[in-house]
A = this chain, B = another copy of it.
C-alpha cells in the first residue's frame, strides 16, 4: 500500500518553518489555546524553554488552499484531505487506531500501537474519543510535520535515530525545558537493560515527546501563572494521570 508517511514528510518540509531550532507551539490539542501569546508577554516559565518564542497554534493553516469540504477547517492543505480520505477506507469520516497506525507506518518507519493510541488520546475528538475526525487529523498532521522537522535536525547522521542528549535538545527545541531528573526517568522508559545506549527512532521520539507535551499541558492547566507549582485535588491528580495509562492498554 502507498504510505502517507512520505507525503506527510514532504508536507512537513514544505510548510513548516525550516530555520534551525524553530519550535512548534506547545498547544493543547483538545482545546487549542494560543500559548505563544502568553509567552510573548515575557512571563518566565519554569517548564517551557524560552530561547525561541513558541509560534501560535495553527500557523500552518491557510497555507495552501481553501478546501473546506469533508469537515476540514478552511484552508486545510489538499494533501491532508487526500491522506485522510485514503486512510478512511470505510468512508466513515473518522479514522480509528488501526487506520491511523497504517497511515503512520511504512516499510522503514513503523508506529507502535502505543504511540498511535497516545496520539488519538492527545488529539482526541470531543464526540468520540476513540477515533479522529478531520479537525483532529489536521492538527495531528501539522504537529507531526513540525516534529519530523525537529527530529531530522537532530538526526545529523541521517541514521533515523537520535540519542538521549539529542532528545533533550529536541524537546527543548519543541518548547519543553524538562528537568534533568525527569529526562532521566523518561529515557529509562526506553532502556531495554541490555547495556546498550538508549536511542530514539521517530516513533519513540514522538511517543516520548507526546508524553511530555500531554503531561506538561495538564500541569499548566493547573498552573496558569507559570509559578512552577500547582495544587491538585486527589480526583484531579488521578484523573490527569490515568488517561496516560489508558493509551497503553
Question: Hey, which bits of chain A sit against chain B, CB under 8 A?
Answer: 46-47, 114, 130, 178-179, 181-182, 185-186, 188-190, 193, 211-212, 215-216, 219, 223, 228-235, 237-239, 241-246, 248-249
Contact = CB atoms under 8 A, between A and B. Distances in A.
Copies per complex of this chain:
2
Given A230-B232, A231-B230, A231-B231, A243 B181 contact: no
A223 B232 CA distance: 10
A182 B232 CA distance: 14
A97 to B, nearest CB: 9
Contact of A182 (B130, B179, B215, B235): B235
B193 A219 contact: no
A106 B241 CA distance: 32
A179 B245 contact: no
A234 to B, nearest CB: 4
Main secondary structure, interface of A, reads helix
Contacts of A231: 229-232
Nearest to A45: B234
B243 A185 contact: yes
B235 A185 contact: no
Nearest to A240: B241
A211 B249 CA distance: 13
Nearest to A218: B237
Nearest to A179: B235
A242 B183 CA distance: 10
Contacts of A237: 215, 219, 230
B248 A245 contact: yes
Given A179-B238, A189-B246, A215-B241, 13 more contacts: A130-B193, A178-B238, A179-B234, A185-B243, A190-B249, A215-B238, A228-B233, A229-B234, A230-B234, A230-B237, A231-B232, A244-B244, A248-B248
